[in-house]
Amino acid sequence: MKLKSLVALLVLTAAACGIPSLATAEPAAPRVIKIRAGVENAMKFDLASMTAAPGESVKVVLTNHCAFPKNVMGHNWVLVAKGTDINAFAAAAAAEAANGYIPEKQKSKVIAVVGLLGPNETGEVTFQAPTEPGEYPFLCTFPAHCSIGMKGVLIVKK
């Protein structure tokens, strides 16, 4: 009895102080989307299209199945703003190995990145899908991979 009233008092106090209860403070767990890169050493992702609701919390987990060393055939995953010219983006990225192939001057177009991975490495990124519906391209920015087809699209729709 005493414990119950103590708990009730604490809950009331928390509410009075504007402290959110645990249930509302806990953010929703992100939805996990697994992508495999470089299966059978092909320069592509095994997922060319994915969908998300506007503002949805998403976790992309990228695994590199390619056998070649990172500096020879690394793979990353870069999600960019709607309307980005990905060929121009990839061309600019190719010269920026020191930045993990993220073009410094086009950083503002980047929504989410899983950094460059070597063989059998896994990386992840958690982000909020854009709130504006539309098609958001993603690509691998390792030199030449995008032009060979290592790209896809995130479709944001209600």
Give the binding site for Cu ion (CB under 5 A): 75, 140, 142, 145, 150
Shortest Å, Cβ 32 to Cu ion = 21
Q: Which is nearer to Cu ion, 15 or 72 (CB)?
A: 72
d(CA 102, CA 14): 45
d(CA 158, CA 156): 7
Shortest Å, Cβ 158 to Cu ion = 31
DSSP string, 92-146: HHHT-GGGTS--GGGGGGEEEEEEEE-TT-EEEEEEEPPSS-EEEEEE--STTHH
Q: Which is nearer to Cu ion, 114 or 140 (CB)?
A: 140
- Residues facing residue 114 across a β-bridge: 77
Q: Which is nearer to Cu ion, 45 or 136 (CB)?
A: 45
Shortest Å, Cβ 118 to Cu ion = 12
Shortest Å, Cβ 150 to Cu ion = 5
When CB distances to Cu ion are compared, the closest residue is 140
Q: Which is nearer to Cu ion, 109 or 145 (CB)?
A: 145
